Amino acid sequence: MRALCIAILAALAAASPANAAETLTVYTYESFTAEWGPGPQVEKAFEAECGCDLKFVSVADGVALLNRVKLEGQSTKADIVLGLDTNLTADAKASGLFAPAGIDQSALAVPGGWSDDVFVPFDYGYFAVVYDTEKVSAPPKSLAELVEGDPKIKIVIEDPRTSTPGLGLVLWVKAVYGDRAADAWAKLKRRVLTVTPGWSEAYGLFTKGEAQMVLSYTTSPAYHIIAESTERYQAAAFSDGHYLQVEVAGMTVNGAKNPLSQKFLAFMTSPAFQDVIPETNWMFPAAKTGKPLNPAFDRMVKPAKTLIFSPEEVAHNRQAWVDEWLKAMSE
Amino acid sequence: MSAAIRDPRVRAGVAAIAVIVALIGGAFIGLAVEGAADFARALSAFDAYYVRVAIFTLWQAALSTLLSVAPAILVARALSRHPAFTGRGLVLRLFALPLALPAIVAALGILALLGRAGYFAGLLSWLLGGDWPGIYGLSGILVAHVFFNLPLATRLFLEALGTVPTDQWRLASQLGMGVAPSFRLIEWPVLRSALPAVAGLVFMLCVTSFTIVLTLGGGPAATTLEVAIYQALRFDFDPARAVALTFGQIVLTVASIWLLSRLGADPVRDANLGVAPPRRFVTVQATERAINIAVIVVAALFVVGPIASIIVSGLASDLAGLASQASVQRASLTSLGFGASSALIAVLLSLALVAMRRALETMRRSRRRSLLEYAADTGAGFVLVVPPIVIGAGWFILGRHVGDVFLLAPFMVVSVNAIMAMPFVVRAIRPAHDAAAERHDRLAASLGIAGWNRFRLIDWPSIRRPLLTGFAFAMALSLGDLGVIALFGSDAVKTLPFLLLERMGSYRTSDAAGLALLIAALCLGLMAVADWSGKERA
């Protein structure tokens, strides 16, 4: 009996907060922590460097990530939140839950430059419609062609209430159509097979052959070329431009008390992390890598025009624009 | 009354009622506080989207009811015209299966069969002369609702047809009545009187359907209020909108209940029935026989299809590999633990209520029942109509002021499922308990046996089996549930249905099929235990 008591006490001691400082908790989205995602490699590399325990907690996608942190508020266990994008940073800052990163950002290289003292970018990409060449002979050449096209050829999109690509498409349509966005959605709706909570669900449906097109990134075909040696899946180049996504991570106010947080953000902009990104997250690196990009990335669609709203514009209008989407899609 | 309060059985009963009231009341407090705190936002949530969701909720329920009930009349009639063919018992047993099957498992079975990549996709594409579009949205929801409710309605109608007195059939036979007149004069009046209650029950089940709409809805165009509540909390984290939607769900549910009670239905009725005694006075012509056989075969195939595809795709998956996954093992343990705890709580609460009701009944002198006795009797049944998502949403909103709401997961899942199972458990144990009490009360009183000794020596042997029935039934319900856990599930706490939802979401189809088979086997096993212990005499 005494031995049991000692064992229980020992177990309690092991779980006590004294050890918590050795752990870094990172909230992120599901496809980041998937077996084929960057998570496992990042975890190994960072743990080797810091001699600590890196713990991932994942939710469906980027917007859900912000909602989760807002929901937990001051009591959040997240030290780092990784996987928001510039469309959410103003909102995230307004929550007062994030602390300035305080790291050297000179190594960063993202389109349009970077100046944000709270959030640090880790990769970027352009949203694109990826299609199956075996089923789609005439891919859309513009957003208008996507909207007006044959309703029998289906696309899977993500939900803007949970997913950053989903929100990206809402903003993309807004950037191109402006006040006529609701009409565009009413038309596009006929082509939407289903709306998924996150990117991984949507892409899974697409590769399973349930839909002929999916909302993803210009860089997605690189995965099929490099990992599967097939040219079957391609991104459609839109003449009216592609919406840019810069994915970022930030340190929470709670996380600022953990010295590992800042270490992680610095690590994130180093080649050890950036090298992992292109061929696991299938996005462009946001800082210098240790080795050159696979040449397949050079063959990806290069946007004719880059579309983007400022974080403040998005923060100001997100609710109204998502509500507009919801109304159009529920009709 | 003072004597009643001193009786331990009454005290236990009052405590049980307090637990239930606290759980449901707490949820409503959470909703009310949030609604009051952000009243403007809650009010602004009553927008065009809200109206569409509410209309869709009613529309899909109305269509599901029509599509379930109308064919059920044909199937029930066909079954009643042929009271003694080989395999009839099997068909009836088959029709009891969907009730025991968790909704998420059935949804997966239907997708495996009729989805764009399902077993029938090739055939359907060929028949349509184009690509089979799959069954996302309204069509998927309807197929699933009919899968659950057609067999239920059939069994209820068959029960109604069983009440036709044998004399009427004999008379009809002597008069040489044909198919049409005997339907018009004998069968239809019985069916018509059962129709409102059956349709009302099915409608009610479809209005509050959550899992089916969540898994087969596929987008904002096919969203019901319950799913919208879930999305407002888990997607948007927009508690004010969740409060507004919950209000709508409560109004709809209350209206449906009111309608249902006006139509004379019992929302917690037992849909199990014995095989009706054979009647020998019906002679069926060859044409009608052929039609009846076709109706029964089609209905049976419709029910068999998804079940068979669960079994086939489940067996084809890598079951051994699945069993060795740490996440699956953990979810299994979590599910079994949650299921057993909530079944235990359900049984204890039910026992307390049943004992109190009996105690109050024997103590009272007038014919009028006290409020307490009423609460223990009819009142308990009404928890069924409070949607679990509503209770979950209330606590979710309340819990976030306290700290990490996801820490509430075990408590919420166990307690809500326990309370939802309670009306069924009460029904399982009350007849045996009251009968035993009737038999032993005086003897026990004259021998001075009371309290724990009386329970151990006298009550326990006679209610042991019904308790097992209730326990197994409650555990099966809890194990297959995906309502509360959908709200509270997280990396830290996953049950088997939650894990299945996740695997379905990431299109790990083979894993999902294996998990569905596992959940189905557990639930059907528990239901078989409930069935067996409910039937056999102690």
Q: What is the per-residue pLDDT across B506-536, written as a single tens digit (0 to 9) for each?
A: 667 788 899 999 999 999 999 888 888 877 5
* Chain centroid to CA A293: 20
Beta bridge mates, A244: A126
Kindly state the DSSP code that residue B273 receives in the 8-state scheme. Answer: -
Distance, in Å, from the CA atom of A175 to the CA atom of A87, rounded to the nearest integer, reads: 13
Distance from CA of B517 to the nearest CA of A (A): 22
Question: Exposure pattern of B336-373 as b/e (b: 16+ CB <10 Å)?
Answer: eebbbbbbebbbbbbbbbbbbbbbbeeeeeeeebeebb
Backbone angles phi, psi at B474, to 5 degrees: -65, -40
B354 and B426 in contact (C-beta within 8 Å)?
Answer: yes
Question: Which pLDDT score, from 0 to 100, does residue A269 have?
Answer: 94
Distance, in Å, from the CA atom of A172 to the CA atom of A85, rounded to the nearest integer, reads: 14
Question: Which pLDDT score, from 0 to 100, does residue B152 have?
Answer: 93
Spell out which chain A residues touch chain B, with contact meaning CB-CB distance below 8 angstroms. 30, 34, 57-58, 60, 63-64, 67-68, 70-73, 75, 77, 152, 154, 159, 161-162, 189, 192-198, 200-201, 204-205, 208-211, 323, 326-327, 329-331
Average pLDDT value for residue range A68-88: 90
pLDDT at A16 over 50: no
Distance, in Å, from the CA atom of A255 to the CA atom of A120, rounded to the nearest integer, reads: 15
* Percentage of residues of chain A with pLDDT beyond 90: 69
- Other beta carbons within 10 Å of B70: 13
Q: Which tokens hold the place of B490?
A: 């997280």
B515 and B482 in contact (C-beta within 8 Å)?
Answer: no
A268 and A119 in contact (C-beta within 8 Å)?
Answer: no
A194 band by pLDDT with thresholds 50, 70 and 90: confident
Span of A79-83, A173-177, A229-233, B479-483 with lowest mean pLDDT: B479-483
B275 band by pLDDT with thresholds 50, 70 and 90: very low
Q: Considering only CA atoms, which of A224, A199, A248 is closest in space to residue A299?
A: A224
B416 and B387 in contact (C-beta within 8 Å)?
Answer: no
Q: Nearest residue of B to residue A211 by CA position?
A: B116
pLDDT, mean over chain A? 89
* Percentage of residues of chain A with pLDDT beyond 70: 94
pLDDT at B195 over 80: yes
Q: Measuring CA to CA, how many Å separate B443 from each of A295, B225, B437, B450?
A: 91, 54, 10, 11
Mutate: best of B216, B230, B236, B245, partner A, most A CBs <10 A: B236
pLDDT at B266 over 60: no
Question: DSSP labels for B82-147?
Answer: -TT-TTHHHHHHHHHHHHHS-HHHHHHHHHHHHSTTSTTHHHHHHHHTS------THHHHHHHHHH
CB of B231 less than 8 A from some CB of A: yes
Q: Measuring CA to CA, how many Å separate B312 from each of B297, B301, B315, B401, B480?
A: 20, 15, 5, 47, 20
Question: Which pLDDT score, from 0 to 100, does residue B518 have?
Answer: 94
Q: For residue B274, what are the contacts with CB-CB under 8 A and spacing of at least 6?
A: none
Question: Which pLDDT score, from 0 to 100, does residue B503 have?
Answer: 83
A15 band by pLDDT with thresholds 50, 70 and 90: very low
B402 and A68 in contact (C-beta within 8 Å)?
Answer: no
Q: Which tokens hold the place of A152?
A: 């029998």
Cβ contacts of B506 on chain A, cutoff 8 Å:
30, 34, 200-201, 204
Q: Which of residues 83-122 of B touch A (CB under 8 A)?
A: 115-117
B197 band by pLDDT with thresholds 50, 70 and 90: confident
CB pair distance less than 8 Å for A209 and B116: yes
pLDDT at A37 over 50: yes
Report the largest interatomic distance among the alpha carbons of chain B, rounded to a whole angstrom.
81
- Other beta carbons within 10 Å of B452: 9
Instruction: Tell me the HSE value of B52 on the side-chain side, using a 13 A CA sphere.
Output: 15
CB pair distance less than 8 Å for B131 and A73: no
Angle at alpha carbon of residue B146, lines to B142 and B149, rounded to 5°:
135
Span of A104-113, B253-262, B333-342, B433-442 with lowest mean pLDDT: B253-262
Distance, in Å, from the CA atom of A204 to the CA atom of B104, rounded to the nearest integer, reads: 20
**SS3 label, residue B54:** helix
Nearest CB to B400; choose among A71, A189, A204: A71
CB of B133 less than 8 A from some CB of A: yes
Instruction: For residue range B136-152, list pLDDT tens digits in order.
Output: 789 999 999 999 999 99
Nearest CB to B235; choose among A161, A189, A329: A161
pLDDT at A150 over 90: yes
Instruction: For residue range B417-474, list pLDDT tens digits in order.
Output: 999 888 888 888 888 888 888 888 888 888 888 778 888 888 888 888 899 999 999 9
Average pLDDT value for residue range B290-307: 94
CB pair distance less than 8 Å for A329 and B220: yes
ipTM attached to this prediction: 0.74
Span of A59-63, A81-85, A138-142, A287-291 with lowest mean pLDDT: A59-63
Instruction: For residue range B200-228, list pLDDT tens digits in order.
Output: 889 988 998 899 998 888 678 888 999 99
CB pair distance less than 8 Å for A154 and B133: yes
Q: Considering only CA atoms, which of A268, A281, A233, A288 is closest in space to residue A103?
A: A268
Question: Which pLDDT score, from 0 to 100, does residue B2 have?
Answer: 58
Nearest CB to A71; choose among B49, B218, B405: B405
Through-space distance between the first and last CA atoms of chain B, rounded to whole angstroms = 36
Instruction: For residue range B102-128, list pLDDT tens digits in order.
Output: 999 999 999 888 887 788 888 888 888
Distance from CA of A168 to the nearest CA of B (A): 16
Distance, in Å, from the CA atom of B29 to the CA atom of B402, rounded to the nearest integer, reads: 14
Report the largest interatomic distance among the alpha carbons of chain A, rounded to a whole angstrom.
76
Higher pLDDT, B33 or B275: B33
- The single-letter code of the amino acid at A216 is S
Instruction: For residue range A307-326, list pLDDT tens digits in order.
Output: 999 999 999 999 899 989 98
B130 band by pLDDT with thresholds 50, 70 and 90: confident
Angle at alpha carbon of residue A185, lines to A184 and A189, rounded to 5°:
125
- Other beta carbons within 10 Å of B230: 24
Distance, in Å, from the CA atom of B23 to the CA atom of B388, rounded to the nearest integer, reads: 11
CB pair distance less than 8 Å for B507 and A205: yes
- Other beta carbons within 10 Å of A305: 10
Nearest CB to B237; choose among A71, A189, A330: A71
- The single-letter code of the amino acid at A52 is C
Backbone angles phi, psi at A98, to 5 degrees: -115, 150
- Other beta carbons within 10 Å of B174: 9
Question: Which pLDDT score, from 0 to 100, does residue B4 have?
Answer: 67
pLDDT at B303 over 80: yes
Distance from CA of B488 to the nearest CA of A (A): 12
Through-space distance between the first and last CA atoms of chain A, rounded to whole angstroms = 66
Instruction: For residue range B344-376, list pLDDT tens digits in order.
Output: 999 999 999 998 888 888 887 777 777 788 777
pLDDT at B277 over 90: no
Instruction: For residue range B234-260, list pLDDT tens digits in order.
Output: 887 788 888 899 989 888 888 887 887
Q: For residue B163, what are the contacts with CB-CB under 8 A and spacing of at least 6?
A: B190
CB pair distance less than 8 Å for A30 and B506: yes
CB of B491 less than 8 A from some CB of A: yes
Cβ contacts of B509 on chain A, cutoff 8 Å:
208
Please name the helix (run of DSSP H) or strand (run of DSSP E) that holds residue B437, with its range, or none: helix B409-447
CB pair distance less than 8 Å for B117 and A198: no
Distance, in Å, from the CA atom of A118 to the CA atom of A92, rounded to the nearest integer, reads: 10
For β-strands A23-29 and A53-59, DSSP reports them as parallel
pLDDT at B310 over 90: yes
B271 band by pLDDT with thresholds 50, 70 and 90: very low
Average pLDDT value for residue range A280-290: 92
Q: Which tokens hold the place of B415?
A: 């307690």
Nearest CB to B235; choose among A162, A205, A211: A162
pLDDT, mean over chain B? 86
Average pLDDT value for residue range B178-197: 88
B97 and B138 in contact (C-beta within 8 Å)?
Answer: no
CB pair distance less than 8 Å for B136 and A30: no
Q: What is the 3-state secondary structure (H, E, C) of chain A?
A: CHHHHHHHHHHHHHHCHHHHHHEEEEEEEHHHHCCCCCHHHHHHHHHHHHCCEEEEEEECCHHHHHHHHHHHHHHCCCCEEEEEEHHHHHHHHHCCCEECCCCCCCCECCCCCCCCCCEEEEEEEEEEEEEECCCCCCCCCCHHHHHHCCCCCCEEEECCCCCHHHHHHHHHHHHHHHHHHHHHHHHHHHHEEEEECCHHHHHHHHHCCCCCEEEEECCHHHHHHHHHCCCCEEEECCCCCEEEEEEEEEEECCHHHCHHHHHHHHHHCCHHHHCCCCCCCCCEECECCCCCCCHHHHHCCCCCCEECCCHHHHHHHHHHHHHHHHHHHHC
Nearest CB to A194; choose among B136, B223, B491: B136
B483 and B393 in contact (C-beta within 8 Å)?
Answer: no
Distance, in Å, from the CA atom of B452 to the CA atom of B460, rounded to the nearest integer, reads: 10
Nearest CB to A58; choose among B220, B236, B491: B491
